[in-house]
């Protein structure tokens, strides 16, 4: 088969790779019909994730068709159309039993495209198939479903739910990339009073309005702290969601939150950020971090299937899987290409 192989920081290549085979009885082999590229893949290529070693096939998001299953797989059979979760779950360790699949200690967690070969390939081996795959209804298209592999559960769980968004809250989302826009979209499920999206790019801010932002702020042109305070009776936002992953944006979030408010960090950070505890402790600020667990995937899938939540607007560019190098160039230059998510199909 052909696959996108990591060769070290800054190096990737679409080339021949060995076909995956069943290793454990709980495995499935999935023929990849649709995949996409994540911001985390770009972090890997920058060298921010040293656990990813040269030779690794990248990718942790896919929709596909089951080709083969191990003897212990009971929920799936060849021919089933499935969603591949970005998180694999053994289903039996302490953390899986708590629904914290991202912290799985039984061989799961974030492994695809990280510690084992991933989904930016013609075929992929999926461990713990019974607890890591989801059957897809015919009413949900591939390009909608692939957004449920990662960005929608990540923004919803690590941003909106960890941030405890409540009715009448003011929510500020820092970053209008795919994760920030998904957080903007899913925050609206809880009837906040205002959702304010902050970014450097006017084009992204225009998109944020389409995803549900009531207000937008260009952080390169406007005084963000002053704008948020003007909209909140000088208090600050109830919930601030960090969706970029650089020290400056995290530190901005801690200046935007009101006393007693919550900062939910979703962005993947490649270096440390300062934490002004000398100011935050007395203001009763709660800061949460987290890797997605994907416990919300069944709920989000139901919402997409019923039309309550639309995943279609995230897919802005389409490529054949064989053109993945072009797709990476487009996604890497998302600002100039006006790209959110690139969808690659076999």
Tokens representing residue 209 in the block: 């309005």
**Res 270 pLDDT > 90:** no
Distance CA 334, CA 332 (A): 6
- Please give the C-alpha separations between residue 138 and each of 82, 114, 206, 211, 305, in angstroms, as whole numbers: 11, 30, 32, 25, 9
Percent of the chain with pLDDT over 90: 97
End-to-end C-alpha distance for the chain, whole angstroms: 12
CB 154 within 8 A of CB 179: yes
- Please give the C-alpha separations between residue 194 and each of 81, 214, 215, 232, 291, in angstroms, as whole numbers: 39, 6, 8, 9, 26
CB 54 within 8 A of CB 8: yes
- Please give the C-alpha separations between residue 333 and each of 103, 319, 336, in angstroms, as whole numbers: 32, 15, 6
**Res 169 pLDDT > 90:** yes
DSSP string, 177-205: SHHHHHHHHHHGGG--SEEEEEES-HHHH
How much is the pLDDT for 271? 87
208: left (phi over 0), alpha (psi -120 to 50) or beta: alpha
pLDDT in tens, 50-60: 999 999 999 99
pLDDT in tens, 92-123: 999 999 999 999 999 999 999 999 999 999 99
Mean pLDDT of 151-160: 98
pLDDT in tens, 29-49: 999 999 999 999 998 999 989
Mean pLDDT of 5-24: 97
Determine the CATH number of domain 2-150+293-345. 3.90.180.10
What's the fold here for domain 153-288? Rossmann fold (3.40.50)
How much is the pLDDT for 337? 93
113: left (phi over 0), alpha (psi -120 to 50) or beta: left
CB 100 within 8 A of CB 1: no
Distance CA 227, CA 231 (A): 6
Closest CA to 302 of 192, 156, 89: 156
Percent of the chain with pLDDT over 70: 100
Torsion angle, alpha carbons of 140, 144, 149, 152, to 10? -120
Contacts of 190 (CB under 8 A, 6+ apart): 160, 165, 166, 167, 169
CB 143 within 8 A of CB 34: yes
How much is the pLDDT for 147? 98
> What is Dmax (Cα atoms) for the chain?
61
User: Cα 267 vs. chain centroid, distance in angstroms?
Assistant: 9
**Res 73 pLDDT > 90:** yes
Give the DSSP H or E segment for 211.
none
**pLDDT interval class at 65 (50, 70, 90):** very high
CB 108 within 8 A of CB 90: yes
How much is the pLDDT for 335? 86
Mean pLDDT of 303-323: 96
Q: Where are the domains of the chain?
A: 2-150+293-345, 153-288
How much is the pLDDT for 296? 98
- Count the alpha carbons within 13 Å of 151 in the hemisphere toward its beta carbon: 33
Q: What does DSSP assign to residue 69?
A: E
Q: What is the pTM of this model?
A: 0.95
Distance CA 253, CA 20 (A): 43
Mean pLDDT of 296-310: 97
Tokens representing residue 8 in the block: 């070290």
Task: For the chain, give the mean pLDDT.
Answer: 97
pLDDT in tens, 227-252: 999 999 999 999 999 999 999 999 99
């Amino acid at each position: 088969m052909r696959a996108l192989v990591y060769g070290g920081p800054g190096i990737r290549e679409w080339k021949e790779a060995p076909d995956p085979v069943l290793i454990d009885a709980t495995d499935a082999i999935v023929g990849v019909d649709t995949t996409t590229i994540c911001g985390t893949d770009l972090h890997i290529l920058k060298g921010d994730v040293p656990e990813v070693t040269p030779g690794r096939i990248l990718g942790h998001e896919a929709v596909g068709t089951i080709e083969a299953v191990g003897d212990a797989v009971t929920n799936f059979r060849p021919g089933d159309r499935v969603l591949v979760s970005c998180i694999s779950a053994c289903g039996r360790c302490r953390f899986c039993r708590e629904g914290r699949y991202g912290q799985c200690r039984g061989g799961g967690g974030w492994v695809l495209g990280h510690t084992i070969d991933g989904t930016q390939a013609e075929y992929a081996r999926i461990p713990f198939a019974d607890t890591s795959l989801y059957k897809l209804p015919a009413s949900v298209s591939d390009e909608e479903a692939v957004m449920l592999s990662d960005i929608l559960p990540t923004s919803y769980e690590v941003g909106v739910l960890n941030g405890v968004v409540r009715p009448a809250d003011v929510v500020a989302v820092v970053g209008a990339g795919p994760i920030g826009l998904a957080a903007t979209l899913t925050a609206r499920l809880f009837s906040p009073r205002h959702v304010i999206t902050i970014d450097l790019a006017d084009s992204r801010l225009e998109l944020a309005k389409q995803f549900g932002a009531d207000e937008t702020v260009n952080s390169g042109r406007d005084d963000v702290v002053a704008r948020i305070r003007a909209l909140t009776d000088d208090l600050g936002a109830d919930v601030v969601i960090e969706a970029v992953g650089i020290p400056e944006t995290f530190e901005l979030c801690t200046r935007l939150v009101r006393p007693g408010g919550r900062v939910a960090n979703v962005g993947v950070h490649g270096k440390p950020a300062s934490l002004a505890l000398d100011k935050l402790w007395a203001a009763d600020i709660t800061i949460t971090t987290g890797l997605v667990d994907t416990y919300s995937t069944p709920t989000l899938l139901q919402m997409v299937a019923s039309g309550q939540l639309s995943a279609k607007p995230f897919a802005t560019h389409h490529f054949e899987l064989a053109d993945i190098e072009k797709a990476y160039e487009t996604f890497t230059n998302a600002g100039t290409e006006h790209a959110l998510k690139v969808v690659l199909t076999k």
